[in-house]
Chain A
Amino acid sequence: MIIPDMMSTETNIIKYNHRQAGHCESGATSNLFAFNGLEISEPMAFGIGNGLFFSYLPFLKLQFAPMITFRNFPNMVFRKGTEYLGVDATVRKSIKDPKEAMKALDENIMKGIPTGLQVGVFKLTFFPPEYRMHYNMHNLVVFGKEGNNYHVSDTVMETPQIISYEDLVQVRYAKGAFAPKGKMYWINSIVPDPDFKTAIKKGIKRTVYDMIKIPFPLVGVKGIRWLAGDVKKWQKKLGNDKASFYLGQILRMAEEFGTGGAGYRYIFGSFLQEAGVMLSNDGLLETSDMMGKTANKWREFTYLGARNCKDRSKPEEDYGMLSNMLREIANDEEKVYRKLDKIII
């Protein structure tokens, strides 16, 4: 147990606007930008920060099922977003001593800087029970301190939350895969008129690269195809119950865990639309429409998949159908990225 030192008696609550968002990190990034005087929406932060991704890692297990992610590595959105928009920001990657990490946080709060943290979800006291899992890539912003308690803005929740010193140390030093190790980040200053055009261009270019150009089979569009192939085989290989559980876990990944629905596809489409309007680019608007339709297909996939989990009467056909659907989704998404690749912004 770590005992708070003398600093802990001070109180400072920064006037910070908590807005709920679909995705924890892009929400936190957008809120931090807004605090520093630059209004950007959550999808904009997500798109510029290159948040979209897909990878299917059957050899890694998360809660007894193959690991699937729809997003990029933790801290990518904040790092890339600030880099592309030319914002002066600091990221402290790992701090060995928890006491020092908390002291650094306290100093920031006293200076009036809201600070983003990477935390583990399992011991987060205010989280709803369905999120109780060993997932260490969650983000929240601390914006105030009152005695032994911290005021926390977690974009998954409707309202700001309060967490005690001891609990905050626990989640900042959660152990396991992708351990946060006390990572913290904040914005120092923002240039008044950032170059959105270049930032959007860079963000889109990287996303396109990640989704179709990485020469490795399990990531990007190729990963979706690989998953489609595996979904078909699950029933024979694993039996009814396990196949159903695996499928359920994919759906949870896509819909439940703070994705804004359909594994961030809606957020990315919304970004494309916003960018299209901002730069008055018809190509972007068209791709945003395509992305929206693909996202609707994802949602239909999760809906049918959930029905399949409920009623396992004719599963053989169903898994085949779901697999075909995934293949179709992969084709549609590839079209979007190929088109984006050719658009001149």
Chain B
Amino acid sequence: MEKNQNPGFKDQDFGQSKELFYYYQDGGNYDKKVGFHPESDAVILQQAWDLFKERIEAARKKVIDGETSPVVYYMEKNLLDPLNLSMMAGISIWRVKRHFKPRVFQRLNEKTLEKYATAFNITIDQLKKVE
């Protein structure tokens, strides 16, 4: 796929693939056309993107300051919330939330760390610190 073909989404990574859309004209004819997303959608996509980035950055700062554990950072990076993370890692939600505390996280055993590492698709060494 060539980059940035869509004039409505100039400087963005997304919105570059063509999809099928349906249309209706008054008078009774349905029509379908393959095309890019309309330009108005760029705003809402960008908004969601910005929010995710903001959350990841905030989490990274908190981890560096020692307020939360790296689990939070990787959770945000994978666009997860605690409930989804608990389902993916197979750890109950209240334990997941407890592991957000740095003190608790440091005492975790290998088995639990391994579960998180598989869920985030990284190694245990990576899990112990933020990038």
- Chain A residues with CB under 8 Å of chain B are 20-22, 43, 61, 63-64, 122, 128-130, 132-134, 156-158, 175-177, 179, 244-245, 248-249, 251-252, 255-256, 258, 260-262, 266-267, 269-270, 273, 285, 288-289, 292-293, 295-296, 302-303, 305-307, 309-310
Contact = CB atoms under 8 A, between A and B. Distances in A.
Nearest to B22: A266
A9 B37 CA distance: 40
B12 to A, nearest CB: 9
Interface of B: 13-24, 26, 28, 30, 32, 34, 37-38, 40-41, 43-45, 47-48, 51, 78-81, 83-84, 87-88, 90, 119
Contacts, number: 118
A249 B43 CA distance: 11
Mostly, the A contact residues are: helix
B72 to A, nearest CB: 14
Nearest to B44: A248
A64 B30 contact: no
Contact of A176 (B15, B18, B84): B84
A261 B21 contact: yes
A255 B87 contact: no
A266 B23 contact: yes
B34 A158 contact: yes
Contacts of B78: 122
A344 B91 CA distance: 53
B34 to A, nearest CB: 6
Given A130-B14, A292-B30, A296-B24, 12 more contacts: A133-B79, A156-B19, A249-B48, A255-B37, A256-B45, A261-B21, A266-B22, A273-B28, A293-B26, A302-B40, A305-B44, A309-B44
A261 B84 contact: no
A251 B79 CA distance: 19
Contacts of A244: 47
Given A248-B44, A289-B28, A129 B20 contact: no
A292 B3 CA distance: 34
A63 B41 contact: no
Contact of A260 (B22, B40, B90): B22
Given A245-B48, A248-B47, A260-B21, A306 B28 contact: no
Nearest to A255: B41
Contacts of A179: 87
Contact of A158 (B18, B48, B84): B18
B20 A21 contact: yes
Contact of B84 (A134, A266, A292, A309): A134
A273 B26 contact: no
A305 to B, nearest CB: 8
B32 A260 contact: yes
A64 B81 contact: yes
A256 B22 contact: no
Nearest to A123: B121
B34 A176 contact: no
